[in-house]
Amino acid sequence: MTVSTVFLLACIGVLSLFCQWLAWRVRMPAILFLLAGGIAAGPLLGFLDPEVVFGDLLFPVISLAVAIILFEGSLTLRYDEIRGHGKMVRNLIPVGSIVTCIIGTLAARWILDVSWEVALLFGAISIVTGPTVIAPLLRSVRPDAKLANILRWEGIIIDPVGALLAVLVFEGIVSWGQGNVFSHSLYIFGKTLAVGFLIGAVAGWLNGIALRKHLLPQYLHNAGTLTFMLGVYALSNEMAHESGLLTVTVMGIWMANMKQVPIDSILEFKESLSVLLISALFIILAARVEFEAIAQLGWGLVAVLALLMLVARPASIFLSAIGTSLNWRDKLFLSWIAPRGIVAAAVSALFAFQLQKLGYESAGALVPLIFMLIIATVTLQSLTARPLARLLKVAEPAEYGFLILGANPVARKIGLALKKLEVPVTLADTNWENVKQARMENLQVYFGNPVSEHASTHLDLTGIGNLLVISPYKHMNSLATYHFLDWFGKDSVLTLAEGDQDQKARHQTAEKIQLTRGLFDGVSYAKLASLASQGYTVKTTQLSDEFTFEDFLDKYDRQAMVLFVVNTREHITPVKSMEAIKPEKDWTLVSLVPPQARKERKERDTGESPEQPPEPAPT
- Total Cβ atoms within 10 A of residue 522: 14
365 in the same domain as 491: no
Q: Quick one: pLDDT band at residue 399, thresholds 50, 70, 90?
A: low
In terms of average pLDDT, the best of 120-124, 242-246, 396-400 is 120-124
Residue 245: the pLDDT is 78
Check pLDDT > 90 for residue 565: no
Q: Mean of the pLDDT values across residues 229-243?
A: 86
Q: Mean of the pLDDT values across residues 148-153?
A: 79
Q: Quick one: pLDDT band at residue 611, thresholds 50, 70, 90?
A: very low
Residue 305: the pLDDT is 92
In terms of average pLDDT, the best of 139-143, 505-509, 548-552 is 548-552
Name which residue leads in pLDDT, 198 or 74: 198
Check pLDDT > 60 for residue 608: no
Q: What is the CATH number of the domain that holds 458?
A: 3.40.50.720
Question: 392, 422, 440 — which closes off a domain?
Answer: 392
Residue 232: the pLDDT is 93
Check pLDDT > 70 for residue 208: yes
303 in the same domain as 222: yes
178 in the same domain as 99: yes
What's the chain's average pLDDT? Answer: 80
Is 610 inside a domain boundary?
Answer: no
Is 602 inside a domain boundary?
Answer: no
Which range (81-95, 154-168, 212-226, 604-618) has the least confidence?
A: 604-618
pLDDT in tens, 415-441: 898 888 888 889 999 888 888 898 988
Q: Quick one: pLDDT band at residue 315, thresholds 50, 70, 90?
A: very high
417 in the same domain as 385: no
Domain with 30, as residue range(s), is 5-392
Residue 47: the pLDDT is 86
411 in the same domain as 381: no
Distances (CA, A) of 131 to 162, 458, 521: 13, 9, 40
Non-local CB neighbours of 148 within 8 Å, separated by 6+ positions: 138, 142, 460, 462
Is 612 inside a domain boundary?
Answer: no
Residue 609: the pLDDT is 43
432 in the same domain as 338: no
Residue 532: the pLDDT is 82
Residues in the chain: 619
429's enclosing H/E stretch is strand 425-429
Q: Mean of the pLDDT values across residues 215-236?
A: 88
Is 298 inside a domain boundary?
Answer: yes
Is 85 inside a domain boundary?
Answer: yes
Which range (178-182, 265-269, 516-520) has the least confidence?
A: 178-182
Check pLDDT > 60 for residue 516: no
Check pLDDT > 50 for residue 612: no
480 in the same domain as 368: no
Is 617 inside a domain boundary?
Answer: no
Residue 318: the pLDDT is 92
Q: Quick one: pLDDT band at residue 266, thresholds 50, 70, 90?
A: confident
285 in the same domain as 387: yes
Residue 177: the pLDDT is 56
Q: Quick one: pLDDT band at residue 310, thresholds 50, 70, 90?
A: very high
Q: Mean of the pLDDT values across residues 559-568?
A: 81
Check pLDDT > 90 for residue 103: yes
Is 613 inside a domain boundary?
Answer: no
220 in the same domain as 79: yes
Check pLDDT > 70 for residue 517: no
pTM of the full structure: 0.67
Percent of the chain, pLDDT > 90?
9
Q: What is the CATH number of the domain that holds 201?
A: 1.20.1530.20
Look at residues 460, 458, 471, 456 and name the one whose alpha carbon lies nearest to residue 404: 471
Look at residues 39, 569, 15 and name the one whose alpha carbon lies nearest to residue 345: 39
Helices within 27-78 (DSSP H only): 30-39, 50-54, 58-74
387 in the same domain as 290: yes
Residue 272: the pLDDT is 66
Q: Quick one: pLDDT band at residue 206, thresholds 50, 70, 90?
A: very high
Check pLDDT > 90 for residue 593: no
**Phi, psi of 521, rounded to the nearest 5 degrees:** 65, 30
Look at residues 403, 564, 574 and name the one whose alpha carbon lies nearest to residue 477: 403
> Cβ-count burial of 579 within 10 angstroms (0-12 exposed, 13-18 middle, 19+ buried)?
exposed
User: Are residues 541 and 615 in contact, defined by beta-carbon separation less than 8 angstroms?
Assistant: yes
Tally of domains in the chain:
2
Which range (94-98, 105-109, 342-346) has the least confidence?
A: 342-346
Is 374 inside a domain boundary?
Answer: yes
Check pLDDT > 50 for residue 78: yes
479 in the same domain as 420: yes
- SS3 of 523, please? coil
Which range (148-152, 169-173, 322-326, 601-605) has the least confidence?
A: 601-605
Name which residue leads in pLDDT, 48 or 190: 48
Residue 398: the pLDDT is 63
191 in the same domain as 136: yes
